[in-house]
Structure 1
Amino acid sequence: METYSAYNVAVVLFAAFGSLFAGYGLAVIVSTLGQPTFYSSLNLAVTGSHTTAIIGAANGVFFAGGFFGCLISAWAVEGLGRLNGLRLAAVIGVIGSAIQTGAVNQGMYLAARVITGVSVGQVFTAMPTYFSEVSPPHSRGLMAGAHGSFVNAGYALAAWVGFACFHASGSSFGWRFPNAVLLIFALCVLAGTFFIPESPRWLCARGRDQEALQILCRLHHDKADPEDHFAHRELGLIKKQLDADKAAVLADGKWQLFTKETYRKRMILALMLMIGGQNVGVLVINNYNTLLYQSLGLSTSEALIVGAAYNTWAMIGNFVGAMVSDRLGRRKALLGGYIANVAMFTIATALIAKYSETTSKSYAAAALTFLFLYVTAYGGAIDPNQYTVCAEIFPSHLRSMGTGLAVSGLFLADTLWLQLASTAMATIGWKYYLVFLCLGVVHTIFLYFKLPETSGLALEEIDALFGKAAAGHIQDEELEKVAATHYDTKVQGSEGETSEVQA
């Protein structure tokens, strides 16, 4: 099977509202900090140590909330279902974004940031898990890569909305409306969960085999495969793997993610991927890009439009990277992305350092050029693949927990770096970036030795890459027999005729 159904694409695009919400929720603080009325609305001076502390706290508590959101989601999407877990995140997002939009003092705003952070953390865990489980193996990089792509689309949209509202900066509308858009996206996510199917793997694990079959037949239907052999083969793989996983749980206990070597290897790899994506400094640049560009001599308006262009370019890179992920392979993309990312950031940091000494516009322009090249490497190679690998390397019964813990590492790393950023940039300036350069080298070396190639494999076949025999390594004909023993693929029509199950 070399194509994927239009229904599959529609499901992924509709579900991507969750990723759009998460990206916008991460980025809305950027344009908020560029609006003069934000400071006056919350009784903050435009500059000063107290303002610096509040800005750091607004970022820090958001990512602290995101950390706990990941842990909540790891339980919710496994215990309640992938869709119910996403619904819970959307409801919390509605509450948080409403309070954030209407905040009238510093405490209220910070409390809202915690709540929206919890919601965004939940979505960051739920979406990669969901995408990976509804995508066919040959296009999982494209479809699961939609998470990173739409997160960046949220970043770009937040930047452009913020720039547009800067021209209405005479009132609090300038910063409240961009936050209100986050509320709209949260409502869209909640509504969308009633139009997309549950994960067939989660259904199989709950004994709801017939529902799983119907969904897989719709997700993977192809005119060249009218009997849905591909769906039956995948169901056979799922069932065999679930049987093996149940036996493993009985033998090794529910904490096997930490007690079994094969799963510990995956947990360490997933953590290094998610933490590594932040240890190269991408979010520090994104969340403080208005302040960074102003330090390079741009006015507030110019800084906002350059920031919007920067995030738009990152979004384009993400979509292109997702489209070539399956063809290029996850390993080549991630290693190439890290190498190029570190190289571009090294040059950009040197140029920023030179500008701080000379204030020459030529150095500022060159620094901006290499920052754009930096995000090209990140958006085109790292971002669309890190979430995909993080979710696909875990088996179904551990996927939500493994993904949740790994993504929580992302939020912990960002809590640290963003909490330090406002003070560090005010005191040591460009030297703060040297930390990220060193960490980028460390993560590149680790991934070179530890990252296998996962593209093109069914989720149930990835076990073999980590020293565990895959239960699904049997012939296609046998897999269809396995499916046939568990799934009734025919139903009786109203007049006693046999007809195909319709999803």
Structure 2
Amino acid sequence: MKNISIGGRVFPTVVWYRHACLRKLYFLIAVIWLSSATGGFDGTMMNGLQTLSYWNDYFDNPRPSTLGLMNAIVPAGNLVINFFMPYMADHWGRKRTLIIGDLILFVGIAIQTGSVNMGMFIASRFIGGVGASFGTGPYLITELAHPQHRAIVTTIYNTFYYIGAIIAAWATYGTLTIQSQWAWRLPSILQFVTPIIQFSLIWFVPESPRFLINRDRPDEARAILEKYHGTASGPEFVQAEFDEICQTIQLEKQFAKRGWMEFFSTKGNRHRFAICLSLGIFANTAGNTILSYYLHQVLDSVGVTSAREQLQINGAVQVYNWVFALGITFFVDKIGRRRLFLISVGGMLCIFIAWTVCSAFYSENQQPGTAKGVLACIFLYYTFYDLAWSGLYQAYACEILPYHLRAKGLAIVVIGAYAAAFFGNYVNPVGLANAGWKYYLLYDCWLVVIFVTIYFLFVESRNTTLEEISVIFDGDDALVGGGVEMSRRERELDELKPSAVHFEQADP
């Protein structure tokens, strides 16, 4: 990890595990990671339930269109609430919004567990989707973490998707032998595990200092920075960090008063908007939704029809994903965000082409060797997907957005992601059923589009504080305080109003 500059001053590297304040902070941040695990449980559980005969018999063997609606209704719930999420997160706070989401999730899980027909089951999943949309985790983590560790701890958030997936995959495998409806109701009950743990511990997690400063509560914000950053980095670091946050947020308040239209007010903001929207859409249209929700159909198409074998593969894939995705988080600052995205998509494209070829040959000659080729492609595909998309897509969005746009920008990412997931989850089972391996050709072409877009659109943001990343997008117009070279807008503000910063700073 390189030294980091704040307000033009360079501070030395901090090793987190040597300081009790950072060990405590990252334990509390781990509580926030559990939000991602809840989402991972859902997708993999639905893969497993489709393999269980008791679930299929109880719901009268749902048709592909019904399966599509059942899985697409979750992102539909996400879409509904995410238009309002930024206002809740900015008004109520990151932590309180997360707590409300957990409460709504409890209702959805309870209804799903007690479902007596497909209509009730689908309704429960819509409610669960609404609850999951209150996940303010990525930007709460980004705004709490020590600047030198921000990239790693925020990227880990999305890798916890696979913790939930691992629990769900092996839970459905374990209930395979239960000779009753509890074969599918028990995995539904287990969805309570991660949100209950989070709900029990979230009260100890501090609120975002940036939210507190934005709500004119600077003393509380400074106390949090001193408690969790100060012991490790010293009072001068806290002072520089606090000054930069206060002054930058004040500058943003002066110039950013257009709501959602702020994304179209400057070239830099239009660039941010394009990245956020593409991150969301690409995260769920790179072929991953086929494996997340319809691995059962993919395996059926290459002759792997045993329920036990399918569940074993499902479980093994999730363990592999988590180990690899977690490992790569420790290299995001060394390799760089943009380079990881390009390597990831380029690799997925090559593997998807091989997957398409193996599936085509199997459909012609039914050779076991080509079926094994498809299985190998599944693991290799996830290797490249996990390089960037499992951890970075929300973390990268949080980094490139200034405070006043962070909640709205992440909402754009999530809206794009869930709109893509809604489309994919509804269309994928129909496409797989009607077109077979030829359906994969669509993804081969789309991955080329993703690669070209990333090459020309994405920027590098490593080893830079949240406030100073604005310079990459806005250049001389960047709204950055705390001793960074004064921008044109800041100079204009300084001329109009000598005391531009609302908060009076005392010497530490």
TM-score normalised by structure 1 residue count: 0.90
CA-to-aligned-CA distance 1:22-76 (integer Å, 9 cap, x gap): 221333211111111112333x13xxxx532221110111121122233232222
Is residue 244–residue 483 contact of structure 2 (8 Å, CA) maintained in 1? no
Deviation of 1:8 (Å) = 2.6
**Match in the other structure for 2:81:** 69
Aligned residue type for 1:377: F
Matches within 5 A, 1:458-473: 458-468=465-475, 469-472=477-480
Is residue 245–residue 481 contact of structure 2 (8 Å, CA) maintained in 1? no
Deviates more, 1:152-161 or 1:449-458: 152-161
**Match in the other structure for 2:246:** 239
In the alignment, which of 195, 206, 229 is matched to residue 220 of structure 1?
229
**Match in the other structure for 1:93:** 105
Instruction: Kindly indicate whether residue 168 of structure 2 is the aligned counterpart of residue 165 of structure 1.
Output: no
In the alignment, which of 273, 287, 293 is matched to residue 299 of structure 2?
293
CA gap of 1:286–1:394, structure 2 versus 1, over 3 A, is same
RMSD in angstroms over aligned alpha carbons? 2.2
Secondary structure of residue in 1 paired with 2:138 = helix
Aligned residue type for 1:346: I
CA distance in 2, matches of 1:277, 1:371: 17
Instruction: Kindly indicate whether residue 60 of structure 2 is the aligned counterpart of residue 52 of structure 1.
Output: no
CA distance in 1, matches of 2:227, 2:337: 27
Secondary structure of residue in 1 paired with 2:430 = helix
CA gap of 1:67–1:27, structure 2 versus 1, over 3 A, is farther
Q: Taking every aligned residue pair, what percent have the same amino acid on both sides?
A: 25
Deviation of 1:473 (Å) = 6.0
Aligned residue type for 2:99: R
Instruction: Kindly indicate whether residue 389 of structure 2 is the aligned counterpart of residue 382 of structure 1.
Output: yes
Is residue 247–residue 481 contact of structure 2 (8 Å, CA) maintained in 1? no
In the alignment, which of 2, 7, 17 is matched to residue 13 of structure 2?
2
Is residue 362–residue 370 contact of structure 2 (8 Å, CA) maintained in 1? yes
CA distance in 1, matches of 2:485, 2:405: 28
**Match in the other structure for 2:165:** 155
Secondary structure of residue in 1 paired with 2:56 = helix
CA distance in 1, matches of 2:485, 2:502: 11
Matches within 5 A, 1:178-257: 178-223=187-232, 225=233, 227-250=234-257, 255-257=261-263
CA distance in 1, matches of 2:259, 2:75: 32
CA gap of 1:246–1:174, structure 2 versus 1, over 3 A, is same
CA distance in 1, matches of 2:283, 2:159: 14
Please list every run of 5 or more consecutive structure 1 residues that lacks an aligned counterpart in the other structure.
Answer: 491-503
CA distance in 1, matches of 2:259, 2:385: 38
CA distance in 1, matches of 2:80, 2:505: 38
Aligned length: 477
CA distance in 1, matches of 2:426, 2:298: 16
CA distance in 1, matches of 2:164, 2:91: 29
CA distance in 2, matches of 1:27, 1:78: 32
Aligned residue type for 2:184: W
Runs of 4+ in 1 over 3 A off after TM superposition: 468-478, 482-490
Deviates more, 1:182-191 or 1:261-270: 182-191
Secondary structure of residue in 2 paired with 1:104 = coil
CA distance in 1, matches of 2:73, 2:207: 32
CA distance in 2, matches of 1:257, 1:190: 34
Is residue 43–residue 292 contact of structure 2 (8 Å, CA) maintained in 1? no
CA distance in 1, matches of 2:231, 2:484: 18
Is residue 281–residue 436 contact of structure 1 (8 Å, CA) maintained in 2? yes
Matches within 5 A, 1:89-488: 89-123=101-135, 126-168=136-178, 170-223=179-232, 225=233, 227-250=234-257, 255-298=261-304, 299-468=306-475, 469-472=477-480, 475=483, 486-487=504-505
Aligned residue type for 1:75: Y
CA distance in 2, matches of 1:106, 1:6: 46
TM-score normalised by structure 2 residue count: 0.89
Is residue 56–residue 422 contact of structure 1 (8 Å, CA) maintained in 2? yes
Deviates more, 1:213-222 or 1:313-322: 213-222
Deviation of 1:182 (Å) = 1.0
CA distance in 1, matches of 2:432, 2:197: 37
CA gap of 1:475–1:245, structure 2 versus 1, over 3 A, is closer
Please list every run of 5 or more consecutive structure 2 residues that lacks an aligned counterpart in the other structure.
Answer: 1-11, 17-21, 487-499
Is residue 241–residue 470 contact of structure 1 (8 Å, CA) maintained in 2? no
Deviation of 1:301 (Å) = 0.9
CA gap of 1:433–1:192, structure 2 versus 1, over 3 A, is farther
